[in-house]
Amino acid sequence: MSQSTPTAVILAAGEGQRLSPLTNRRPKPMLPVVNKPLLEHVLEAVIDAGIEEIVFVVGYERDRIQTYFGNGDDWDVSIEYAVQENQLGTAHAVQQAESHVDGDFLVLNGDRIIGSDAVADVHAAMDGETDAAMAVTRVPESEAYGVVTLSGDEIVDIIEKPRDELASNIINAGVYGFTPAVFDVIDATPAGPDGEYRLTDVLARVAENGTIRPVRYNGRWLDVSYPWDLLSVTGQLLDQDGGDTAGSVGAGAQIDTAAHLASTAAVGANTVVGRGSTVAANARIGPNATITRSVIFPDATVEAGAVLSDCIVGANATVGANVTAAGGEATVVTDGEIHSDVIFGGLIGDNAAVGGAATIAPGGILGNDVVVGEGAVASGTIPDGVEIRRG
């Protein structure tokens, strides 16, 4: 086992276009999961593994990350920042941290929730006899990830999002251990066809000329790629860890034990907040509303009698009285991709306003600053700033 405690480099520079409009004004790692940033869950896993020196590689909307985490004092760790000015891929992101590391180091994706044992086990695998280590896990649908081929106790190949017949359902779990020699490999690895420098290409080169040790991992591994993933990941964490009702709760309100209210959130009388739901800081839910499997962002308002299921309500958005978003299965188009049979009631962007008695059709995505008039029906994907009126 490596004798010294390594630095953890956490990649948090990306935008997350498939999560638009949620990422139009905030970086993907700052999306709230159970009322704290996705990136904070990653940081906590690193800390729980005994690591105290952390480098965040930041880029898109980096001020949001740096303002929230600062120098790490609130977590009793040291946080430094490396800046990726242009998002040119994961290998390029790691390269930006070179001046911040001394000796073996770990790399983690800042948008994937994992258990601390994955971090600790990858650290342990860096025993001075291997060139790199990588956590691997099994998933039922591996084509969206880096697919790994094993030979004995070595990784011999890794293919990012393969298009041909899959050789394996073992994938890269997004936790790596490296020696400083990897920076020379990064320098020698060309960009892919899209101009991005991928860590998977670097790892393939390491595997050709050295040894990558797989670290098998079967624990918590939660990925947020699309808006509806935010709902499913939130639900899984609440089911596993339980909820909290720290906020203000009106008379007769029912808060499920697998729901989470921030300490400054308020829920009105006779309102139901169902399983898998979160209500963030300074958000307010009016009386007689019903919120099921929904994520309410900070400073949002849901007025009396509204019924929301499988929904996301953005920061400072307003959902009027008796608005209905019934949820259920939907076909959703996001970032040019069509997704069928998605359980998704809809998304209301930051600062959007939905008038009283309006309806949001299943799968509707309302951009930031969208205005939906009273009694109107909103469906499909509506760009930022559009106004929809009834009739």
CATH at residue 336: 2.160.10.10
Domain containing residue 59? 7-135+172-205+218-223
pLDDT over 90 percentage in the chain = 83
What's the pLDDT band for 170 if we cut at 50, 70, 90? Answer: confident
Q: Are residues 239 and 199 in the same domain?
A: no
Q: Are residues 59 and 105 in the same domain?
A: yes
DSSP label at 99? Answer: G
- Phi and psi based region of residue 74 (left: phi greater than 0; alpha: psi -120 to 50; beta: remaining): alpha
Tell me the average pLDDT across 349-360: 98
> For residue 257, is pLDDT > 80?
yes
Rounded alpha-carbon distances, angstroms, from residue 24 to 20, 34, 38, 89: 6, 21, 16, 19
Contacts of 66 (CB under 8 A, 6+ apart): 56, 58, 81
Q: How many residues does the chain have?
A: 391
To the question of pTM greater than 0.75 for the whole model, the response is: yes
Type of residue at 230? L
Tell me if 326 is assigned to some domain: yes
Tell me the average pLDDT across 374-380: 96
56 CB-side CA count, 13 A:
31
Rounded Cα gap, residues 290 and 294, in angstroms: 10
Tell me if 322 is assigned to some domain: yes
Q: Are residues 189 and 314 in the same domain?
A: no
Q: Are residues 43 and 189 in the same domain?
A: yes
CB atoms within 10 A of CB 240: 10
Tell me if 213 is assigned to some domain: no
Q: Are residues 178 and 320 in the same domain?
A: no
Identify which of 327, 113, 264, 267 has the alpha carbon closest to the alpha carbon of residue 256: 267
Q: What share of the chain is helix, strand, coil (3-state, %, to 5)?
A: 20, 35, 45
Tell me if 158 is assigned to some domain: no
> For residue 231, is pLDDT > 90?
yes
Task: Give the tokens for residue 93.
Answer: 């992101």
Tell me the average pLDDT across 49-56: 97
Tell me if 117 is assigned to some domain: yes
For tokens 């081929």, what's the residue?
149
Q: Are residues 363 and 331 in the same domain?
A: yes
Tell me if 146 is assigned to some domain: no
Rounded Cα gap, residues 374 and 66, in angstroms: 39
Tell me if 186 is assigned to some domain: yes
Tell me the average pLDDT across 374-382: 96
Sign of torsion over alpha carbons 30, 35, 38, 40: positive
Q: What is the pLDDT of residue 164?
A: 60
What's the pLDDT band for 162 if we cut at 50, 70, 90? Answer: low
Q: Are residues 234 and 370 in the same domain?
A: yes
What's the pLDDT band for 2 if we cut at 50, 70, 90? Answer: very low
> For residue 252, is pLDDT > 90?
yes
Q: Are residues 127 and 24 in the same domain?
A: yes
- The domain total for the chain is 2
Task: Give the tokens for residue 383.
Answer: 């760009």
Q: Are residues 46 and 191 in the same domain?
A: yes
What's the pLDDT band for 149 if we cut at 50, 70, 90? Answer: confident
Q: Are residues 49 and 193 in the same domain?
A: yes
> For residue 141, is pLDDT > 70?
no
Q: Are residues 200 and 233 in the same domain?
A: no
CATH number at 74 reads 3.90.550.10
Q: Are residues 237 and 379 in the same domain?
A: yes
Identify which of 265, 261, 263 has the alpha carbon closest to the alpha carbon of residue 282: 265
Type of residue at 326? A
What's the pLDDT band for 3 if we cut at 50, 70, 90? Answer: very low
Question: To the nearest whole number, what is the mean pLDDT of the chain?
Answer: 93
